[in-house]
Amino acid sequence: MSFWWFWAPPPVIEAAEPDVYPALAELHERSFPSGWSADDLAALARQPGVTILQARRSSAYGSRAIMGFLILRVAADEAEVLTIAVDPRQRRRGIGEQLLRAGLSRLYADRVACLFLEVDAGNAGALALYRKLGFRKVGERRGYYRDGTGDGGALVMRVDLA
């Protein structure tokens, strides 16, 4: 017996255009206690070195809904993840990993040496993903997240690309 109807094609990962910033802002608000507005995203996108990637459903017949997005900022030969958000209904399907892999690939092609991020120390799912992709802890920030899990501490993590 075949379960072909459960199979879904992987999302399309592409640069986000300004017309989708309101949808990204809505997704960010559903993902975090302190969401960013469409104006916040537009302001970020105008900064030098900032890239916004989106993951959207790839379907010729159905929804092309945005499933997640990633914002990276490059300065010299280092980059940082400003945020990554996946629609809560789409989590645990590998979308965050696909976004990060696409971002890492772009950074590698641009000869960026390393990528940093900060993550809530109590976010076990995110920590597992980052470790899977080669990130390692390089620092801590106590009380960084007001609305975080646990004590609100953040881990600073890094992956080398060069």
- Using the predicted structure, report yes or no on whether residue 1 has a pLDDT greater than 50: no
Query: For residue 60, how many other CB atoms are within 10 A of its CB?
Result: 6
Mean per-residue pLDDT over the chain, rounded: 87
- Stretch 117-138: mean pLDDT: 92
- The C-alpha atoms of residue 139 and residue 12 are separated, in whole angstroms, by 33
Residue 15: predicted pLDDT: 94
Residue 85: predicted pLDDT: 93
Domains annotated on the chain, with CATH: 9-112 (3.40.630.30), 116-162 (no CATH)
CA proximity to 130, closest of 98, 108, 157? 157
CB proximity list for 102: less than 8 A, separation 6 or greater: 13, 53, 70
- The C-alpha atoms of residue 48 and residue 156 are separated, in whole angstroms, by 23
Please report which confidence band the pLDDT of residue 16 belongs to, taking 50, 70 and 90 as the band edges: very high
Q: What is the reported pTM? A: 0.87
- The C-alpha atoms of residue 150 and residue 3 are separated, in whole angstroms, by 40
In this predicted model, what pLDDT tens digit does every residue of 34-75 receive, in sequence order? 889 999 999 999 999 999 999 988 766 656 788 999 999 999
- Using the predicted structure, report yes or no on whether residue 77 has a pLDDT greater than 50: yes
Where in the sequence numbering do the catalytic residues fall?
Answer: 118, 130
